[in-house]
Amino acid sequence: MWKCPKCGREFSRQEQDHSCVRPKNIDEYIAAQEEAVQPRLKEMRSLIRSAIPEAEERISWSMPTYWKGKNLLHFAAFKKHLGFYPGDEAVARFKDELNNYDVSKGTIRLPYSADLPAELIQRMAQWCYETYQK
């Protein structure tokens, strides 16, 4: 176990990349991130919100989360990328369109060095909304 000296949280991985603050909502989450990445996080939020306006925003697993009866998807800020967590099923369903991205189980890494794939993110959010509620 590794214990973060700043926030005291424990992680199985040494130097685990995480945010030391525990935000109560997405506004607080975004405000706690590096200033340079905040516009990107706001863009991500507005893309998802406009794709699935009926979903509720909350913080779950310390990440911005979209919820409708259950967690549908999350995103999170890292040093060099934005993590998008639409779940294993969505990643499998859209894998042919994710060839340009670093993808692992349930996670898509969207580098800050490139524009967000806005249309794809919105389609995936809608797919999660329609599929995971059932």
17 sits near Zn ion (criterion: CB under 5 A): no
Q: What is the DSSP string of 70-85?
A: SEEEEEEE-SSEEEEE
The least CB distance from residue 110 to Zn ion, in Å, is 23
C-alpha separations of 1 from 4, 6, 17, 29, 120 in Å:
10, 15, 14, 25, 37
Q: Which two tokens stand for residue 38?
A: 């905040």
Residue closer to Zn ion (CB basis): 5 or 53 = 5
Judged by beta carbon, residue 20 or residue 92, the one nearer Zn ion is 20
Tokens 């925003």 — which residue?
57
Out of 2, 3, 4, 114, name the contact with Zn ion by CB under 5 A.
4
The least distance separating Zn ion from the CB of residue 19, rounded to whole angstroms, comes to: 7
Nearer to Zn ion, 37 or 103 (CB): 37
Please report how the helices 38-51 and 118-132 are oriented relative to each other, as an axis angle in degrees rounded to 10: 50
Q: Does 20 bind Zn ion (CB under 5 A)?
A: yes
What residues line the site for Zn ion (CB under 5 A)? Answer: 4, 6-7, 20
